[in-house]
Amino acid sequence: MPPKPKTALQRQQIRTAILNAARDLFVERGVEAATMREVARRMNFSATAIYLHFKDKETLIRELCTTDFLTLAHELRAIETIADPIERLRLLGMGYVQFAITHPNHYRLMFMSPQIVHDTDSSSTEPDNPEQDAYASLYSMVVDAHAANLFRAELINPELIAQTLWAGLHGICALEITMKNDKCIAWCDLTERVALMQGALMRGLLRNHGTTTQIR
Amino acid sequence: MPPKPKTALQRQQIRTAILNAARDLFVERGVEAATMREVARRMNFSATAIYLHFKDKETLIRELCTTDFLTLAHELRAIETIADPIERLRLLGMGYVQFAITHPNHYRLMFMSPQIVHDTDSSSTEPDNPEQDAYASLYSMVVDAHAANLFRAELINPELIAQTLWAGLHGICALEITMKNDKCIAWCDLTERVALMQGALMRGLLRNHGTTTQIR
DNA sequence: AGTTTATGTTGACACTGTTAACTTAACATC
DNA sequence: GATGTTAAGTTAACAGTGTCAACATAAACT
């Protein structure tokens, strides 16, 4: 294994190769299956070579999730073009749930694991974290709907509304990921649960709680 | 350390002593801080002595959570005496959230960690698991309310309603536990979030969506 | 007294993440 | 061209972890 000085591009290629190798293990069997040593093994590296490219396992996995979540955020960008604020919110929620269900390990690590303290001043070069990104787009949609006077009069704080909508969908995703195989509970169909959550929350939050927003 | 044959009572005392020692570490610094070796150290046991009383770490911690959750379930029993089904549901939700926030590590392990497959036939002697217990009491309350014709006409499945209510509150608890220190998000007051979630879901699910159920 | 048995302890195995010290090949400079 | 510098990678090691197998011991039973 001859060491040659690598150009910046080559170095980046190795980084993404490591990320891909780690992802294979990660998406399939979770964080603790994605061993640093196993990743190195698959790269034909020695166990410690990974540390030349990533500070530690934490940052490796975290960076992996970050990039994947950012691609999601960009995919969901198309939804922002939809005119009707309510329909926009509904579709955003659907996309969110869909991602959580198809990438449970990513979701678990981003939203269901103890967070890094995320000190403000640290390495300075990570201004856009995906969770903020996702929440920000939800929030902006809520602000739009609020500006259009669509919410009930008492609801004066868009932030509170956004956090409630998020919590509702997160609850469904989290329970599905964690307990879908729990035989003690007769789980209803996932899409039914999502539809009812969205329908009920909308009906509970919106001003004209009548015919337009229908609970299926 | 002289080994004497222990009576069943003594054996049970040792078990609970181990559980208590483990709980100290667990509630304070989480699962991975509750090391088998550290528990043994605090008991003045050798590292492997714990395994004479518990099959492995998994079952130790799981049993710890189970008992604590069951005591919660019994505390919440008082709520069942409340006459108004809606108020009953509301208080149950409040108690649930309160427990989750004051025992975040318990909650995390019970509802936010990959579940054991919980094969039906195993050791046979664990019929009442607390998550089923909690869900069962929620479900029975929903059934009552449903029998009293309080829900909207379209909502014919109490199970679906119960799971939606659970998911809503679980979402709040889970986000609070995982991300309360995330500075990227301007979290609203927790009790406000709970109140809005309960109010909105109730308004969205109940039949008379008018003056009685007020969103604060 | 001698045997059995529950209750422990010691030592070990196979892992993990991670750091320190060493090796090697490619480049820049005198 | 010989020399040094340095990035890239290796091996060895440390301090942990959960857990099992083999051994020890003291009480109880026959």
Q: List residues bridging with A151 in a β-sheet.
A: A206
Q: Please state which of the four CATH numbers 3.40.720, 1.10.10, 2.40.50, 2.60.40 is assigned to the domain occupying A1-54.
A: 1.10.10
**Residue A127 confidence (pLDDT):** 54
**Contact call for residues B123 and B55 (beta carbons, < 8 A):** no
Residue B126 vs residue A85, higher pLDDT? A85
The secondary structure of B46-110 as a DSSP string is: -TTGGGGT-S-HHHHHHHHHHHHHHHHHHHGGGGGG-S-HHHHHHHHHHHHHHHHHHSHHHHHHH
Residues 21-50 in A having a C-beta less than 7 A from any atom of strand D are: 44-49
- For B30-74, the pLDDT digits (tens) are 999 999 999 999 999 999 999 999 999 999 999 999 999 998 888
Contact A117 B160 (CB under 8 A): no
Residue A139 has pLDDT above 60, yes or no: yes
Residues whose CB is less than 8 angstroms from the CB of residue A22 and which lie 6 or more positions away in sequence, other chains included: A34, A39, A60, A61, A64
The domain defined by A58-205 folds into Tetracycline Repressor; domain 2 (1.10.357)
Protein CB footprint (7 Å) on chain C nucleotides: 5-12, 15-20, 23-27
**Residue B53 confidence (pLDDT):** 96
Domain assignments of chain A as residue spans, ordered by start: 1-54, 58-205
CB-nearest partner of B196 from A160, A187, A197: A160
Evaluated on CA atoms B110, B111, B117, B120, the torsion sign reads: positive
- The percent of residues above 90 in pLDDT, for chain A, comes to 76
Interface residue B169 vs chain A (CB under 8 A) = yes
Asked if A1-54 and A58-205 have one fold, the answer is no
Secondary-structure class of domain B58-118+125-216 per CATH = mainly alpha
Rounded to the nearest integer, the mean pLDDT of chain B is: 89
Residues of B in contact with A161 (CB under 8 A): 196
**Residue B120 confidence (pLDDT):** 47
Q: Is the CB of B210 under 7 A from strand D?
A: no
Per-residue pLDDT averaged across A142-148, rounded?
96
Q: What is the DSSP letter of A151?
A: B
**Residue A132 confidence (pLDDT):** 75
Which A residues 24-43 touch B at CB under 8 Å? 30
Nucleotide nearest to B34 (CA to C1'): D17
Residue A209 has pLDDT above 80, yes or no: no
